[in-house]
């Protein structure tokens, strides 16, 4: 799937630039983006290592387990087929909590670990085929895309930076919007899940 999307992006972009007369600047745009990706990764390397290090401590100390218990009912509802006590549950819990609090930099490391654990779960089950996403993976990703963040802190900062008379006015509607898009995502996943399990 991603193969086609990527190819379409590249091919469409180049064809498009012929019509807009920007073909000559396109090489620079491509190179700059690749450079940006590397700088992003350097920033990410520091942040992800920091949080994965802290997560390891939290895991060893049993802190993550306690958090997982806290949102246990949610996890049971969203991921009923992950056995209790599996590490996947704990990383999913960390990711979801960080997501709600808007700690973007904690979400990604926890999310990556969760995906690795979900892949391991598939291998343990022996029913899953490698390279094919499990239902849990689909649900987890769709939830992440639908964003669970309650207070859009970045947006508030940008709004006040550009002299909004009332930067925080968006909080209420933003929570409502996030809630509705997340509910839509959950309903979709549940329907798909039911059909897939049969």
Which residues 119-148 are close enough to bind another protein by CB under 8 A? 119, 130-133, 137-138, 140-142, 144-147
Q: Which residues contact 147 (CB under 8 A, 6 or more apart)?
A: 99, 178, 181, 182
Q: Does 100 bind another protein (CB under 8 A)?
A: no
- The single residue among 1, 69, 76, 84 that binds another protein, judged by CB under 8 A, is 1
In whole angstroms, what is the distance from residue 68 CA to residue 94 CA? 7
Residues 34 to 73: which contact another protein by CB under 8 A?
34, 36-38, 40-41, 44-45, 48-58, 60-63
> Is 118 strand, coil or helix?
helix
Q: Which residues contact 108 (CB under 8 A, 6 or more apart)?
A: 44, 48
For residues 183 and 147, the answer to whether their CB atoms sit within 8 Å is no
In whole angstroms, what is the distance from residue 88 CA to residue 16 CA? 43
Shortest reach from residue 123's CB to another protein, in Å = 11
Shortest reach from residue 84's CB to another protein, in Å = 21
Question: Which one, 49 or 74, has the nearer CB to another protein?
Answer: 49
- The single residue among 65, 67, 100, 188 that binds another protein, judged by CB under 8 A, is 188
In whole angstroms, what is the distance from residue 24 CA to residue 44 CA? 32
- The single residue among 67, 71, 100, 155 that binds another protein, judged by CB under 8 A, is 155
Shortest reach from residue 166's CB to another protein, in Å = 7
Shortest reach from residue 50's CB to another protein, in Å = 7
Question: Which one, 68 or 108, has the nearer CB to another protein?
Answer: 108
The site that binds another protein (CB under 8 A) totals a number of residues, namely: 105
Residues 17 to 36: which contact another protein by CB under 8 A?
17, 19-20, 22, 25-26, 28-30, 32-34, 36
- The single residue among 72, 84, 125, 158 that binds another protein, judged by CB under 8 A, is 158
User: What is the residue-wise DSSP string for 50-117?
Assistant: HHHHHHHHHHHTTHHHHHHHHTHHHHHHH-TTSPTT-HHHHHHHHHHHHHHHT-HHHHHHHHHHHHHH
* Tokens, residue 154: 């970045």
């Amino acid at each position: 799937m991603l193969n086609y999307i990527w190819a379409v992006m590249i091919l469409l972009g180049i064809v498009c630039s012929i019509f807009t007369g920007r073909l000559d600047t396109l090489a620079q745009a491509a190179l700059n983006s690749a450079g940006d990706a590397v700088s992003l990764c350097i920033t990410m390397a520091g942040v992800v290592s920091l949080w994965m290090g802290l997560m390891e401590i939290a895991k060893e100390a049993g802190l993550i387990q306690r958090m997982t218990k806290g949102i246990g009912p949610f996890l049971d509802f969203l991921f009923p087929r992950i056995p209790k006590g599996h590490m996947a549950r704990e990383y999913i819990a960390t990711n979801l909590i960080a997501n709600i609090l808007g700690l973007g930099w904690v979400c990604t490391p926890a999310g990556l670990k969760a995906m690795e654990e979900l892949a391991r779960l598939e291998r343990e089950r022996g029913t899953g085929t490698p390279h094919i996403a499990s239902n849990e993976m689909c649900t987890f990703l769709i939830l992440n895309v639908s964003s669970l963040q309650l207070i859009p802190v970045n947006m508030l900062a940008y709004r006040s930076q550009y002299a909004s008379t009332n930067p925080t006015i968006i909080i209420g509607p933003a929570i409502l919007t996030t809630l509705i898009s997340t509910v839509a995502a959950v309903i979709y996943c549940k329907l798909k899940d039911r059909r897939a399990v049969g």
